[in-house]
Amino acid sequence: MTRTVLLFAMTLPLVGGLTASSVQPTKRAVPQEVGYHGNIDKLVQEKCLPCHREGGVGPFKLDSYTEVKKRGAMLNRVIAEGIMPPWFAKESAAPFMNDSSLTKEEKQRFASWVSAGMPEGDRSKASKAPTFVADWTIGKPDAEFKIPQPVKIPAEGILPYKIVDVPTNFTEDKWVEKIEVLPGDRSVVHHVLVFARTPGANRLEDQLEGVGGYFGIYVPGNSALVYGNGLAKQIPKGAVLRFQIHYTTNGAETTDQTKIGLVFAKSAPKQEVRTGSLANLAFFIPAKANNHRVEAKLEVPTNVQILSFLPHMHLRGKAAKYELLDANGSKKTLLDVPKYDFNWQLNYVLKKPLPVSGGQSLIYTAWYDNSAENPANPNPNKLVTWGEQTDDEMHLGYVDYIVTGEKPGEGKNIIRPSLRNEARNRIEEVFNRLDRNKDGTVTEAEAGAFWSRIKAADANGDGKLTLEEAKKGFGG
User: Quick one: 461 and 367 in the same domain?
Assistant: no
Residue 315 domain-assigned (yes or no): yes
pLDDT tens, residue by residue, 328-379: 999 999 999 999 998 888 999 999 999 999 999 999 999 999 999 999 999 9
Q: How far is CA 1 from CA 87, 102, 236, 336, in A?
A: 19, 26, 39, 25
CB 195 within 8 A of CB 245: no
pLDDT of residue 206: 47
Q: In this structure, what CATH number is given to the domain that contains residue 461?
A: 1.10.238.10
By residue range, what is the domain housing residue 441? 421-475
Which residue among 215, 243, 269 closes a domain? 269
Residue 158 domain-assigned (yes or no): yes
Residue 409 domain-assigned (yes or no): yes
Query: For residue 249, what are the β-bridge partners?
Result: none
pLDDT of residue 12: 32
Q: How far is CA 404 from CA 95, 225, 264, 305, in A?
A: 21, 21, 22, 7
- Percent with pLDDT over 70 in the chain: 87
Residue 131 domain-assigned (yes or no): no
pLDDT band at 1 (very low <50, low <70, confident <90, very high): very low
Cβ-defined contacts of 11-15 (< 8 Å, 24+)? 11/59, 11/60, 11/71, 11/74, 15/74, 15/77
User: Quick one: 448 and 402 in the same domain?
Assistant: no
User: Quick one: 381 and 429 in the same domain?
Assistant: no
User: Quick one: 280 and 412 in the same domain?
Assistant: yes
User: Quick one: 363 and 308 in the same domain?
Assistant: yes
User: Quick one: 257 and 299 in the same domain?
Assistant: no
Least confident stretch, 207-211, 228-232, 280-284, 385-389: 207-211
The Cα–Cα gap between 68 and 305 comes to 40
Which stretches of 398-458 are DSSP H helices?
419-434, 444-447, 451-454
Question: Which helix (H) or strand (E) element contains residue 147?
Answer: none
User: Quick one: 247 and 281 in the same domain?
Assistant: no
Residue 240 domain-assigned (yes or no): yes
- pTM reported for the whole predicted model: 0.80
Query: For residue 292, what are the β-bridge partners?
Result: 368
Which residue among 252, 269, 286 closes a domain? 269
Instruction: Decide the pairing of beta strands 189-197 and 240-247.
Output: antiparallel
Which residue among 97, 125, 153 closes a domain? 125
pLDDT of residue 345: 85
User: Quick one: 364 and 257 in the same domain?
Assistant: no
pLDDT tens, residue by residue, 85-98: 999 998 777 899 98
Least confident stretch, 6-20, 69-83, 374-388: 6-20
Q: Higher-confidence residue: 450 or 46? A: 46
CA angle (237, 240, 246) in 5-degree steps: 150
Q: In this structure, what CATH number is given to the domain that contains residue 280?
A: 2.60.120.230
- In the chain, how many domains are there? 4
The Cα–Cα gap between 287 and 293 comes to 13
The Cα–Cα gap between 14 and 27 comes to 22
Residue 138 domain-assigned (yes or no): no
Residue 152 domain-assigned (yes or no): yes
pLDDT of residue 210: 64
User: Quick one: 216 and 290 in the same domain?
Assistant: no
User: Quick one: 355 and 385 in the same domain?
Assistant: yes
Residue 193 domain-assigned (yes or no): yes
User: Quick one: 353 and 291 in the same domain?
Assistant: yes
User: Quick one: 285 and 403 in the same domain?
Assistant: yes
